[in-house]
Amino acid sequence: MRVYIDGVGLYGPGLDSWDEGRLILSGQRPYERRNMPPAPASALSPNERRRCGTTVRLAIQVAEEASIRAGIDATVPSVFASSGGDSEILHNLCETLATTPKDLSPTRFHNSVHNAPVGYWSIAHKATASSTSLSCFDGTFAGGLIEAAVSVLTETGKTLLVVYDLPAPEPLHSACPFICGFGVAFVLARKAGGRSIAALDIELTGDTGNIAVMGNSDLETIRTGNPAARSLTLLEALALDRTAGLKIPYLDDLAVYLTVEPIVHRAQ
Amino acid sequence: MSGLRQQIKEMIVEVLNLEGMAPDGIADETPLFGEGLGLDSIDALELIVEIEKRFGTKIANRDIAATALASVNSIAAFISASKGEAPANQAT
């Protein structure tokens, strides 16, 4: 499958935006690991921002950045992918149900569903476009990328892909030991346009060896420590702005081979 | 009663995650919804659950909620009345 990347959004520890991430991943600026504060998510109204959790804010942050870069509006369908969903809220609900009284917060219950982030996205932009929310454990980035690419090629022409995860509190953390938060978003298109930065060929392969890794040990720790950060090797290829082939993990018996070809826009 | 009002203000700020607002920043008579604090129907639902949890006072229907949740003073009066206590002295 060939699709085109029209916009990127990024939010991770020491990676506050795609602008900053591109400089770091291309080697123009050293990487410095920093704590990741809750994402500003300025697209949300004040009432929605205080009501939603940090997972929603992370998803909205990268979705907004990628959309602005790609110049799309909210009529573009979306795929939101997260391995664990809002684990902080799930933890809180479990804790409440294990104690007395068992009265759940209506807002937290509302936010606990896996498609809550795209709900907030739709409210923020009054969007009525279709959306898909999925989870695929450690293969969530590859799963989301395939779903979004199929959507682009068979239905929509353009699709917003948003992938995000935050570490869970204990005891959920022991089951899904994500070491940090990470969010990434891409706007994928069927045809190359004025904002396209690269062509991306996506191919499933049964050869799961030789998964691409990061040269920087801190970034490699992040790549393996959060399912959304499995996107880092693709982001690095985009930042370096040169043709590259790389494999990303998907399922136990399947991987995804990506070929990245930068698109050079000639000055008018 | 000032202690109860203070508890209510702390509950509102904490439960509704009113970032940047201190409990003392909510006046006793400030309308909580609409032009006042700007809360909405989802916040009302959250307050109804939390009032029952913290104060053991059930708000049975929408009409009662509309009156009881109007301000900090009205919540304090509703809780006091539900517990059979004397009406709260309104702060000025």
| pLDDT single digits (tens) B37-87 | 889 888 999 999 999 999 999 998 889 999 999 999 999 999 999 888 755
Contact criterion met (CB < 8 Å) for B42 and A110: yes
Per-residue model confidence as pLDDT tens digits over A73-98: 888 999 999 999 999 999 999 999 99
Sheet of strand A244-251: strand arrangement:
A131-134, A78-81, A158-165, A182-189, A2-11, A198-205, A254-262, A244-251
| Residue A183, both tokens | 């969010």
Predicted confidence at residue A78, as pLDDT, reads 96
**Bond from prior residue into A171 cis (ω within 30 degrees of 0):** yes
Q: By the CB < 8 Å criterion, does B44 face chain A?
A: no
Q: B89 in a domain, yes or no?
A: no
Burial bucket for residue B8 (CB in 10 Å: 0-12, 13-18, 19+): buried
**Bond from prior residue into A249 cis (ω within 30 degrees of 0):** no
Q: B88 in a domain, yes or no?
A: no
Q: B78 in a domain, yes or no?
A: yes
Predicted confidence at residue A2, as pLDDT, reads 98
CB A139 within 8 A of CB A226: no
Q: By the CB < 8 Å criterion, does A110 face chain B?
A: yes
Predicted confidence at residue B2, as pLDDT, reads 77
> Which H/E stretch holds residue A186?
strand A182-189
Predicted confidence at residue B34, as pLDDT, reads 84
Of B19, B40, B49, the CB nearest to A105: B49
Whether the predicted pLDDT of A210 surpasses 70: yes
Whether the predicted pLDDT of B1 surpasses 80: no
Q: By the CB < 8 Å criterion, does A211 face chain B?
A: no
Q: B17 in a domain, yes or no?
A: yes
Q: B13 in a domain, yes or no?
A: yes
Q: Bigger pLDDT: A268 or A170? A: A170
- Number of domains chain B contains: 1
Phi, psi of A201 (to 5 degrees): -95, 130
- Average of per-residue pLDDT across A227-254: 97
Burial bucket for residue A115 (CB in 10 Å: 0-12, 13-18, 19+): middle
Domains of chain A: 2-195 (3.40.47.10)
Q: B10 in a domain, yes or no?
A: yes
**Which residues contact residue B19 at a Cβ distance below 8 angstroms, ignoring those fewer than 6 apart?**
A50
For residue B27, the enclosing domain spans 2-82
Whether the predicted pLDDT of B91 surpasses 60: no
Predicted confidence at residue A42, as pLDDT, reads 93
Q: B34 in a domain, yes or no?
A: yes
| Residue B87, both tokens | 């009406």
Predicted confidence at residue B92, as pLDDT, reads 38
Residue A155 — very low, low, confident or very high, per pLDDT cuts 50/70/90? confident
pLDDT over 70, % of chain A: 99
Predicted confidence at residue B20, as pLDDT, reads 84
Per-residue DSSP letter, B23: G
Tell which of B13, B32, B41, B53 to mutate to test the A interface (max A CBs under 10 Å): B53
Q: Which residues of B touch A50 (CB under 8 A)?
A: 16-19
Whether the predicted pLDDT of A104 surpasses 80: yes
- Measuring CA to CA, which residue among A194, A188, A201 is closest to residue A263? A194
Report the CATH number that the domain containing residue B74 is assigned in CATH: 1.10.1200.10
